Each structure stands twice: as C-alpha cells, then as structure tokens.
Amino acid sequence: MPQIRLTAEEMRYISLFQDITGATARDCIIDEENNRLIFLVAKGQAGLAIGRGGVNVKRLRKILGKDIEVVEYSDDFESLVRNIFMPARVRSIKVIQMHDGRKRVRVAVEPKDKGLAIGRGGKNVSKARLILKRYHDIDDVVID
C-alpha cells in the first residue's frame, strides 16, 4: 500500500464530502482534465456516499461545480478494478509487465458492457488509470 499524501485542497474536498454524505472517504483524486473529483470510500460505503437516487452526488456537484464519482476502495487489486468499472461486468483482469518496465492492466468485460466500461470519451479508462497509477503503479489500462 503506497503512502498517499493529500494536498490541502484534497483534504478540504474530503471534509466536505464526509460532512454531506456521512461516508468515510479514504482519498480524493482531482481530475482537472475531466473536471471531476473521484472519491475512494471505505468498503461497503459507496451506497451511503452516493445517497438515495444520487442525492449526495448531485448536491456535491452543485456546490463544487465538478462531476463527482465514487469508487469503493479495496486492498484487493482485483476487487478495486471491479469497483472502478462498476456496473460493467468484468470477466478477467490481467497485469502485464512491459519490456520498458511499465505495467499495463488488461480488463476483459462482457461484450455488451464494453461501452459502459470505457465511458464517454474514455472517461472510465482515464479514471482507472488515475486510481491504479496512484495505488498500484499501473501505467496503462486496456479494455478487451
């Protein structure tokens, strides 16, 4: 488990997130490129964080003017990858060591869920790359 250092801005976002949702946020990733905040929450708290009908996420989006995404954290690599791509059904996850020392993850999903897994404009792949680089030093994510 890498040591994650939070910036003052990330800590402010986490504090606001926890006040509004009542869920425990482990981390906040600021994704400037997609104007969103990705919160990693404690196991079993994704539903609480999102709120009934997405009420908490909508409230945060309105306050912060950014898209909000919630991912349930797991110490288990495969579970974390499955949580990142939820609700797409993941069939297999394979880590490939590249010749240049970089690591790539190939995630095979149900054919019907491929678009869902990739996301509009590759948004979900980008989210997976940010989270997996931060926690597991993965450089690339490929959806099969």
Q: pLDDT tens, position by position, for the chain (144 residues)?
A: 567 788 999 999 999 999 999 999 999 999 999 999 999 999 999 999 999 999 999 999 999 999 999 999 999 999 999 999 999 999 999 999 999 999 999 999 999 999 999 999 999 999 999 999 999 999 999 999
Count of domains observed in the chain: 2
Q: How far apart are CA 51 and CA 49, in angstroms?
A: 6
Question: What is residue 112's predicted lDDT score, i.e. its pLDDT?
Answer: 96
Pairing of β 36-41 and β 67-72? parallel
Range of the domain at 103: 77-143
Report yes or no on 32 lying in a domain.
yes
Amino acid at 82: R
Question: What is residue 5's predicted lDDT score, i.e. its pLDDT?
Answer: 85
Report yes or no on 1 lying in a domain.
no
Q: How far apart are CA 23 and CA 134, in angstroms?
A: 21
Q: How far apart are CA 17 and CA 143, in angstroms?
A: 30
Question: What is residue 9's predicted lDDT score, i.e. its pLDDT?
Answer: 95
Residue 111's nearest CA partner among 133, 76, 144 is 144
Question: What is residue 91's predicted lDDT score, i.e. its pLDDT?
Answer: 97
Q: Are 72 and 41 in contact, with CB atoms under 8 Å apart?
A: yes
Residue 109's nearest CA partner among 119, 96, 97 is 119
- Beta carbons within 8 Å of 6's beta carbon, 6+ residues apart: 14, 27, 28
Report yes or no on 137 lying in a domain.
yes
Question: What is residue 7's predicted lDDT score, i.e. its pLDDT?
Answer: 92
Same domain, 83 and 53: no
> In which element (H, E) is residue 63 found?
helix 55-64
Same domain, 61 and 97: no
Question: What is residue 89's predicted lDDT score, i.e. its pLDDT?
Answer: 96
Same domain, 84 and 137: yes
* This prediction's pTM: 0.93
Question: What is residue 16's predicted lDDT score, i.e. its pLDDT?
Answer: 97
The phi and psi torsions of 32 (rounded to 5 degrees) equal -60, -40
Question: What is residue 2's predicted lDDT score, i.e. its pLDDT?
Answer: 61
Same domain, 68 and 82: no
Question: What is residue 1's predicted lDDT score, i.e. its pLDDT?
Answer: 52
